[in-house]
Structure 1
Amino acid sequence: MSDSAFSDEDQKNQLGRSAVIRLAGEGFQGVLPEMSPAEVELSSSLRKSVEKLATEIGERNLRRYGSLKGAADWIEGSLKDCGYEIERQSYEVDGQVCDNLIFERVGSTLSKEIVIVTAHYDSVFRCPGANDNGSGTAALVDLAKRFAKCEPKRTLRLLFCVNEEPPMFQTDSMGSVVYARRCKERRENIEAVLSLETIGYYSDEEGSQQYPFPLGAVFPRTGNFIGFVGNIESGPLVHRVLSSFRKHAQFPSEATSLPGDMEGVGWSDQWAFWKFGYPGVMVTDTAPFRYPHYHKATDTPDKLDYDRMARVVTGLEKVITELINPSGG
């Protein structure tokens, strides 16, 4: 997708009418620092998880129901010995039982305040889903392991969602909609949602990054950054997450708060939480606006950059730590 038919002046005028925001401040630029031994180990772990999901298990959806269930079983098995309270939220779609998986660490002093980190583990039809969303799922598995023994002030929930992809996308059968509705019915206080969506592809080539109109006027055209995207109402959370990431991670980053119905902005599970009034941020490599294999049979593990993924996940660990341990709490 390209906005090359529009001049920069046209785009700037449209920006003014659309209340588009590029958060202020400079992110990391230049040569990435040498990876730490922990990041090297994490890179290997992420690769193995993506290969498990996209190669060994393969396409994961209701047309490949056995693989969808196999992915859920693999996630639970990967974390069964980590000490979490584990729950499967099961519901039926077309007579088939689907599962959201929830792993929780209850907060100590602020247990009623909840931070959710989520990723969907299904893939679109006829696609092995290495990047979309094996990358987000793999990251969440490793993050869950890292937080397994933490004692947070706020409650931390790691949520693996089913049925994010079409034809369930943005319907009542979408896993995150099912879960967010239950949160609302229980009157739970969700302070923040981070949705890990397609985070594994990066390019240093000029022109590798594209955008829906009119964002190309203000954002970089090299797809080497991780993005943080929220709706207008989630603006304060977007700012907090970006600031924390830039404080802890030496990795290019961009962030924006946009109208939730703008193209691409609501294209993941954070949309479901917005629907019920909760703040949420999508963490993404921008998917179809950068990744040439989006929703294709060629979305295979060899296309991903696991070293850069590891740097992003390491930064996200720090972001989550600050979210679940607010100062003064």
Structure 2
Amino acid sequence: MNNQTFTNLEVEIKGVEKPDEIVIVGGHYDTAFTSPGANDNGSGVAAVLELARRFADKKPNKTLRFVEFTNEEPPYFWTENMGSLVYAKGCKERNENIVAMLSLETMGYFSEEEESQKYPFPLNLIYPSQGNFIAFIGDINSSQLVKNTINYFRKQVQFPSEGVAIFGQIPGIGWSDHWSFWQQGYQGIMVTDTAPFRYKHYHTLQDIPDKIDYEKLTRVVSGLEKVVGGFVS
């Protein structure tokens, strides 16, 4: 488009017992405006790459795909040129059975300070005020995927986590590549530090590597390895 070529990057590990059931782990590799994008979405990109490395020599029962998506950020966000929407439409056209999609989105910033975490209404009435947790977020159709993900995660790693399956129209709930899969009827969730509701450097020039808590991000990725392993077993 616009005389340029944009590319989604995909690696697939074919399932040995249920190859027609597909689990996708993805994150977008573009950044917003002039932001360096260390957290949004360098952290998610790194997590996808690390999970791909950990599964490279395994033989999952279900097919496992790792995808780095292009064009998630403006001006392509929620348009027909959003990389993940192009990808998800292709999956639907091929009648692919995607049983789970995990969008790894802005995952590396945590704070123990009170009132460091904000929310859109009505989530502010329910969830904690400290931004020290990783969140698993889905729409109503993805509620079982949210539950299963949290169950796998909490069994394997001691790390604060919160989950919600709620109407996708609430601000922030659909702000990543999982939204594209919702449009095609698939279950998808976002794994995130909640981005602008916690991270004040979101979409700014200050979204640089020293803002990321690498120890906590590593613990989250280790937990996600167990989550993904559970889904493809």
TM-score for the superposition, normalised by structure 1: 0.71
2:24 to 116, 119, 144: 116
**2:229 corresponding residue in structure 1:** 321
**1:204 corresponding residue in structure 2:** 112
Instruction: Give matches, 1:78-227, under 5 Å.
Output: 93-227=1-135
Distance 1:222 1:250 in 2: 17
**2:102 partner SS:** strand
Displacement of 1:280 after TM fit?
Answer: 0.3
Distance 1:312 1:140 in 2: 12
Q: Cα deviation per residue 1:95-147 (whole Å; 9 max; x = unaligned)? A: 10000001010000100000000000000011000000000001111111000
**2:175 corresponding residue in structure 1:** 267
Q: CA RMSD in A?
A: 0.4
Displacement of 1:257 after TM fit?
Answer: 0.3
Distance 2:20 2:5 in 1: 30
Distance 1:94 1:116 in 2: 29
Distance 1:215 1:230 in 2: 13
AA aligned opposite 1:223: G
1:303 to 205, 211, 219: 211
AA aligned opposite 2:116: S
**1:157 partner SS:** strand
Distance 1:240 1:252 in 2: 16
Instruction: Give matches, 1:56-75, under 5 Å.
Output: none
Distance 1:130 1:121 in 2: 10
**2:158 corresponding residue in structure 1:** 250
Distance 1:286 1:152 in 2: 30
Displacement of 1:94 after TM fit?
Answer: 1.1
Displacement of 1:173 after TM fit?
Answer: 0.3
Distance 2:79 2:150 in 1: 30
- Is 2:192 the counterpart of 1:289? no
Displacement of 1:237 after TM fit?
Answer: 0.5
AA aligned opposite 2:4: Q
- Is 2:185 the counterpart of 1:277? yes
Q: Which runs of 5 or more structure 1 residues have no equivalent in the other structure? A: 1-92
Distance 1:98 1:217 in 2: 41
TM-score for the superposition, normalised by structure 2: 0.99
Distance 1:223 1:309 in 2: 14
**2:142 corresponding residue in structure 1:** 234
**1:309 partner SS:** helix
Distance 1:265 1:305 in 2: 23
Displacement of 1:216 after TM fit?
Answer: 1.1
Identity %: 56
Q: Cα deviation per residue 1:50-101 (whole Å; 9 max; x = unaligned)? A: xxxxxxxxxxxxxxxxxxxxxxxxxxxxxxxxxxxxxxxxxxx211000000
Distance 2:3 2:85 in 1: 18
Displacement of 1:296 after TM fit?
Answer: 0.4
Displacement of 1:261 after TM fit?
Answer: 1.3
Q: Which runs of 5 or more structure 2 residues have no equivalent in the other structure? A: none
**1:102 partner SS:** strand
Count of residues in correspondence between the two structures: 233
Instruction: Give matches, 1:29-48, under 5 Å.
Output: none
